[in-house]
Amino acid sequence: MSRPPLYGVGIFVPVSDLKRSTAWYTEVLGLEVIHMDEPNAVVMRMNDEKVTFCLVRSYEVKQPDFPKNEYGVGQYFNLHTTNVSEIHQRLAAKGADVGEIEDFDEFKGFSLTDPDGNRFGVTE
């Protein structure tokens, strides 16, 4: 079976300390390193190759606020899970910066922030 023309996503994440961030993304989120271009970048994958993260050593890492909206969105992307309570507990036990679980009627989720302040959501 051939791949459709668009089959995955790559997410570039600015980080100030590549070694610290690589450790966080592997140990806390469970991502797998698939390519290293030290000292500039590390490419990781989540579960399979459909989602890759490229940690890019950057200078003056600043996190832009998500624009004000009426939809309640506060981050640029979400990670999906089948059990939001379990992953929230697991991440908190690993010392991750997690927000409170919120119920949004059709789904539940919480915010997760990496060591550089990159914020994303985790939703069920």
Nearest to 122, CA basis, from 92, 101, 106, 104: 101
| Shared domain check, 53 and 84 | no
pLDDT attached to residue 43 = 98
In a domain, 103, yes or no: yes
CATH at 32: 3.10.180.10
- Contact present, 31 and 45 (Cβ < 8 Å): yes
State the total domains in the chain.
2
Nearest to 81, CA basis, from 29, 14, 21, 26: 29
Instruction: Please write the tens of the pLDDT for every residue from 40-80.
Output: 999 999 987 789 999 999 998 888 888 999 988 888 889 99
| Shared domain check, 119 and 86 | yes
In a domain, 40, yes or no: yes
Instruction: State which residues form the domain around 86.
Output: 78-123
pLDDT attached to residue 1 = 64
